[in-house]
Amino acid sequence: MNIALITVFIIGYTAIASEHFIKVNKAATALLTGVVCWSILILGSQDFHEVHRQLMEHVAGIASILFFLMGAMTIVEIIDLYSGFDTITEKLVTAGNRSLLWFVGLLSFFLSAVLDNLTTTIVMVSLLSKLTLKREDLLFYIGIVIISVNAGGAWSPIGDVTTTMLWIGGQITTISIMGSLIMPSLVCATVPLVWVSFKLRNDIPRTGSVEPPSSPGDRHPKRVFVFILGISCLLFVPVFKGITHLPPFIGMLLGLGILWVATEIIRRKPHESGGESHSVLNALQRIDLSTILFFLGILLSVTALESAGLLSRLGTQLELRIGNMSAVVFSIGLLSSIVDNVPLVAAAMKMYPLSYFPPDHYFWTFLSYCAGTGGSILIIGSAAGVAAMGMAKIDFFWYVKKIAPLAFIGYCAGAAVFFMQSRI
C-alpha cells in the first residue's frame, strides 16, 4: 500500500510540475491525486472507520484553510472592483526597477508578519497586477513576493501556519520567536534583493501607467473608503483570533461580512457606486476556483501520506541517517519545498514532545525558520507559492530557473545568521 501511495503521489507531483507540457490543468491532476491516494489508503486498511475518521479530521483542517483563502480572495476582489489598489499603484508608476523591487520585497516582508503570508500574497499579486508590467517582469516581482512573505511570516506567531501551529502547541512563545528570528528572516528576504539589485537596470519597467478604469464607476470617490475598510478587515483577523481564540477563517469571514454590508450600503445610490458591476456577487464570480481546487487536491494528497505514517517515518530516517539535529531541521526546510510544510512540522511535533525539547528550545525556533522559509525554494512548497501560482499562472520550471536560486541563497544566508546568533 505504501509503495502505491508514494508512486501515485510522485506521478501526480510530476504531472503538476509538467502542466505546461502535458496541457492538463494542475487542479484536475491535484484532485485526482488526492482522491486516489485516499482510496488506496482506505482499501488497503483493515479499519475503514479509522481511516474515515482521519479523513474527516483532515477535511476540517483543509476546509478552514480554503474558507480563509476564499474570504481573503473575495475581499481583495472587492477592493479591486472599487479600484482601491490604485491608491497605492498610482505612486509606483514612476518608480524605477530597483525602487519597485525593494518596495515590493520589504512591504511583503512586514505585511506578512502582521497578516499572514497567504493573505499578503493575494494582496501583493493583485497590487502588482494593476501595474502594466511586462509578463516576465510581473512574474519576477511575484517571485520576490513569495520569498519575502514566507520570510516575513516565519518570525511572527501569526505570520505562517507552521509558526502558528508551534505557537498554539506551546513549542514557542511570542517574544522569544520574534526576537530570535527577526534578523535571520530579514536576511533571508533582503539577500536576494541585494543580489538582484546589482543585476537590474534602474530604468522604469512599465510600458505605460496604471491601467485606465474600465467604467466610470471605477473612479468612485469612495474607493479609498473601500480600500481602507478592506485592509482593516484583513488586519483585524489576527486581533479577532487573539480575542476569541477562534480559527482565523472565522475572523476572515467576519471581515468579509462587514465589507459586504458596507458595499451594499454604498451601492444604494447607483450613480455613485457603479451599479451591479461593484456588487460582491460580481467579486465572487471573479475568484479563481481552480486555485482553490488545486489547493484542496494538494492538501488531500499530503494528508493521505501523513495518515499512512510515511512522513513520520521520513523524519525518523532523517534523524538516523544525518544525526545532527541542526542538519535534520535544515533538511526539513529543504524538504518543505517539495512536500507541504504543515504535515512536516506536525510530524516533528509528534516525534519530539515538549519533554524532549522544552518550549523555545533551539530545535523549535530553528524549525520555525526552516519550515517557514524553505518552502520558497519551489513554488509548490508553500501556501503563498501555491496561491501565486494559481493567480498568476506561473510555470513551475520558470520558477525553478529564475526564483529558486535566489530563494536558496536567502534560505542559507538566514540560517547562517541564526547559527551565529545562537553561538553568541
Q: What is the pLDDT along the chain (424 residues), one digit of tens a residue?
A: 888 998 998 898 788 777 767 878 888 998 999 999 999 999 888 888 899 999 998 898 888 878 887 888 888 888 878 877 776 666 666 666 778 888 889 989 998 887 778 878 888 887 888 777 788 888 889 999 999 999 998 998 877 878 877 887 778 888 888 889 999 999 999 999 998 888 766 555 554 444 444 444 445 567 788 888 988 888 788 788 778 888 888 988 999 999 999 988 887 765 554 555 677 888 888 777 887 888 788 888 888 887 888 866 776 776 677 767 788 889 888 888 877 677 678 777 767 778 778 888 888 999 999 988 998 998 878 878 888 887 888 888 889 998 999 999 999 999 999 999 888 7
pTM listed for this prediction: 0.72
Residue 1: what residue type? Answer: M
Rounded Cα–Cα distance for residues 223 and 105 (Å): 25
The alpha carbon of residue 271 and the mean position of all alpha carbons in its chain are separated, in whole angstroms, by 38
Long-range contacts of 327-335 (CB under 8 A, 24+ apart): 329/363, 329/366, 329/367, 329/370, 330/366, 330/370, 330/415, 332/367, 332/370, 332/371, 332/374, 333/369, 333/370, 333/371, 333/373, 333/374, 333/411, 333/415, 334/374, 334/377, 335/374
